[in-house]
């Protein structure tokens, strides 16, 4: 079968023929992948600009961690049947470390990531533990189910920020995670969701299609001016960051109300310089979020099933797996927002 793989520690990916997925062992399933999204982290690994050195001992491997499909074969005790439709939680807790034994799989210290440390969904089939599979309703399309992973990240960020009814929320970053945060903040009851980005017309267009009008382009005016013009000079209740640019946190903190929460969701290559006097006097709360809890997945899938068309504008490009490299280039040049590959 065809697979889109990272083969060497350097720029690029390879589209190659690989053997079919091996038969599932006890507790495993083989999933027939029907839709797989290209994530920002996939693009970083494609470009090989740093931060993904942990992949080196695992190469070559098939990438892809945002995917959905059908159960194709089941191992003993998997709890699934052939043909079951599922979305995939890409993290695999070891089950043995102190955190796992204490019932906290997200705290696992020996966690594997499907598509980053072992074979993922940019192929027709992949063998994974059955516990990574979340059942999805019959009417939920696969390309939308493939959005469950980034939407879960957004939902978890919103839960971490304790966004509430009537809040004014500032989202830094217009990409898929920023879009997911904005959508989930609106569902959590935020009265106003402002999204900031830099000269990113394609993603601003997606945000408008998703119903967000309060957009600030920091290439045109300083963030502070843009946000204050929208809020009538009032600070915001919650800031959620999905830029990966440390300085954006300083800009966000400058607009955050006294005692407000700033949630960091971006993966940052650089360090943050934090003026602590203001931070302390304003009692700002800095919190981190990463991935999503299992119950958050169920909530996201419920929202996707209830109102699928509210989410579909996130997907701007659909390509067959054979044209996967083209999809990566579209994402890399920020000409695309979410690209879905179909094996």
Q: Give the interface with Zn ion as residue ranges (CB under 5 A).
A: 39, 41, 93-94, 97, 100, 108
End-to-end CA separation in angstroms for the chain: 9
Q: Which is nearer to Zn ion, 21 or 108 (CB)?
A: 108
CA dihedral 296, 300, 301, 304 (to 10 degrees): 180
- For the bound state, the minimum distance from the C-beta of residue 163 to Zn ion, rounded and expressed in Å, comes to 21
Torsion of CA 277, 280, 285, 288, to 10 degrees: 50
- Looking at the Cβ atoms of 180 and 223, the one nearer to Zn ion is 180
Nearer to Zn ion, 114 or 253 (CB): 114
Shortest distance (Å) from residue 259 CB to Zn ion: 31
Q: Which is nearer to Zn ion, 18 or 97 (CB)?
A: 97
Beta bridge partners of 339: 38, 317
Q: For 56, how many CA atoms within 13 A lie in the half-sphere containing its CB?
A: 8
- Closer CB to Zn ion, 121 or 226, in the complex: 121
Query: 40 vs 343, which CB is nearer to Zn ion?
Result: 40
> How far are the Cα atoms of 206, 312, 317 from residue 320, in angstroms, in the given order?
22, 18, 10
Q: How many residues are recorded in the chain?
A: 343
Residue showing tokens 């083969």? 7
User: Would you state the structure tokens that stand for residue 250, as one six-digit string?
Assistant: 């300083």
Min dist. Cβ of residue 339 to Zn ion (A): 12
For residues 238 and 162, is the Cβ–Cβ distance under 8 A?
yes
Task: State which residue, 148 or 319, has the beta carbon closest to Zn ion.
Answer: 148
* Shortest distance, position 147 Cβ to Zn ion, whole Å: 11
8 A C-beta contact, residue 149 and residue 37: yes
Q: Output 164 or 291, the one with its CB closest to Zn ion.
A: 291
**Distance, CA of 118 to chain centre:** 18
Which ranges of the chain would DSSP assign to H, the alpha helix? 40-47, 98-101, 142-145, 148-160, 176-187, 201-209, 223-231, 247-253, 276-281, 294-306, 324-332
Q: Name the minimum Å distance from CB 234 to Zn ion.
A: 34
CB of 121 to Zn ion, least distance (A): 11
Smallest separation (angstroms) from Zn ion to the CB of 77: 20
Q: d(Cα 135, Cα 251) in Å, to the nearest integer? A: 40
The CA distance from 38 to 122, in Å, is 9
User: What's the min distance (Å) between Cβ of 96 and Zn ion?
Assistant: 6
């Amino acid at each position: 079968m065809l697979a889109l793989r990272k083969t060497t520690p350097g720029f690029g990916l390879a589209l190659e023929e690989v053997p079919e997925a091996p038969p599932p062992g006890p507790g495993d399933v083989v999933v027939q992948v029907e839709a797989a999204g290209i994530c920002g982290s996939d693009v970083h690994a494609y470009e090989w600009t740093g931060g993904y050195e942990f992949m080196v001992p695992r190469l070559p491997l098939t990438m892809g961690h945002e995917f959905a499909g059908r159960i194709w074969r089941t191992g003993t005790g998997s709890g699934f049947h052939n043909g079951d439709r599922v979305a995939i939680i890409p993290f695999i807790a070891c089950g043995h470390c102190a955190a796992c034994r204490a019932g906290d799989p997200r705290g696992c210290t020996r966690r594997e990531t499907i598509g980053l440390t072992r074979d993922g969904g940019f192929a027709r089939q992949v063998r994974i533990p059955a516990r990574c599979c979340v059942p999805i309703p019959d009417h939920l399309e696969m390309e939308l189910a493939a959005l469950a992973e980034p939407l879960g990240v957004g939902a978890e960020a919103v839960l971490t920020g304790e966004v509430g009814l009537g809040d004014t929320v500032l989202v830094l970053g217009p990409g898929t995670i920023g879009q997911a945060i904005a959508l989930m903040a609106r569902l959590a009851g935020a009265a106003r969701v402002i999204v900031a980005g830099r000269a990113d017309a394609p993603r601003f267009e997606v945000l408008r299609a998703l119903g967000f009008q309060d957009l600030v382009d920091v290439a045109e005016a300083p963030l502070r001016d843009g946000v204050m013009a929208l809020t009538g000079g009032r600070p915001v209740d919650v800031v959620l960051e999905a830029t990966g640019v440390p300085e954006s946190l300083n800009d966000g903190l400058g607009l955050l109300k006294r005692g407000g929460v700033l949630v960091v969701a971006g993966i940052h290559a650089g360090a943050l310089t934090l003026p602590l006097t203001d931070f302390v006097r304003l009692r700002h709360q800095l919190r981190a979020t990463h991935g999503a809890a299992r119950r958050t997945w169920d909530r996201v899938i419920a929202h996707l099933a209830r109102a699928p068309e509210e989410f579909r504008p996130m997907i701007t490009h659909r390509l067959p797996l054979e044209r996967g490299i083209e999809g990566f280039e579209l994402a890399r040049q920020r000409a695309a927002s979410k690209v879905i590959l179909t094996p």
